[in-house]
Amino acid sequence: MKSILLTGTAGFIGSNFVPYFLEKYPDYQLVNLDLLTYAGNLENLKECEENERYKFIQGDICNRELVEFIFREYDIEGVIHFAAESHVDNSIKNPGVFVETNVNGTFTLLDVAYKHWMQKPFVKKKGYEESRFHHISTDEVYGTLSDDPEDLFTEKTPYAPNSPYSASKASSDMIVRSYVETYGMNCVITNCSNNYGPKQHDEKLIPTIIRNALAGNPIPIYGDGKNIRDWLYVLDHCKGIDLVYHNGDKGETYNIGGRNERTNLQIVDAICTILDEKVPPKERIGKESYKELVTFVEDRAGHDRRYAIDATKIENELGWRADETFDTGIVKTVEWYLNKYL
């Protein structure tokens, strides 16, 4: 039984990844280390609680003593590192927490893994020849793009983070890179576009739109609503992580994107159109359409205009493809939140 440490998987992406990974790999034992901050919820993993190959440990990735104990106790042979503070608004209000978790936490995990798996730089201990550290990152490290649809983030795009959140993730990416170059560690990095789907925290854009619409509250949209993001269905992201962890080349970065660019206004329009059909607004909030609730609010400080990923590398080298279009994925997503909120 191979033991893999997963961090932060009581959160959105991780809690979709764990059941997928448990089912696909019956010879893996998964150890989930999660601090259970406001963004983590064990209810997200209720389906895994009785699985004897799944172990949950509440704790901080910055706690070196705890991380060392986990590596020894479970003889960790791989790490897939999801844990991160990720809400941009929160990073603007309190950047120190983001530096502590995203930078220092990543360093702690890397350094403990290095000492557990390797005798010295470029010399692996016996039994750990295949051990790998997979760092989950974001497209926000690349900064912002022009409105030109041909302008896309690739793995060669220079880093230019614009928020404390993206700066902390860029910093953690660089630390991972340094452990490859200096110590010869087997690490890979994936940078993903905006995820959406079941189990996302209520504070994020899509759950906020759905929740506020159903309650008849204003749907807040930053600025002019024309900021563009590339949207990736969360299970498609999980499948990409799986492929990179098992088949990606050491030291490489792979960008995972859905090729689904939408403005925030288009996102609201799509969701409200689905809600208008499934939960008629006339009966619920006395309006003809939930779109009447859209309210423009002051723009976020340092708000990047456009993100879009070129996923050619992972598509060509590893054969990954997104199964969901935005049109299919958003219907599944809305239906999941209707079951939660109604």
Answer yes or no: 140 catalytic.
yes
Answer yes or no: 54 catalytic.
no
First to last CA, the chain: 41
- List Cα–Cα distances, 163 to 18, 87, 93, in angstroms: 29, 10, 11
Answer yes or no: 114 catalytic.
no
Q: H helices of 2-42, where?
A: 12-24
Q: At what angle do helices 234-247 and 12-24 cross, to 10 degrees?
A: 60
Set 54, 114, 128, 165: catalytic member = 165
Phi and psi at residue 201, in whole multiples of 5°?
-65, 145
Contact (CB, 8 A) for 261 and 310: no
Set 77, 85, 139, 324: catalytic member = 139
Set 60, 77, 85, 140: catalytic member = 140
Contact (CB, 8 A) for 224 and 289: no
Residues 6+ apart with CB under 8 A from 215: 285
Using CB atoms within 10 Å of the CB of residue 223, give its burial: 0 to 12 exposed, 13 to 18 middle, 19+ buried: middle
Which residues are known catalytic residues? 139-140, 165
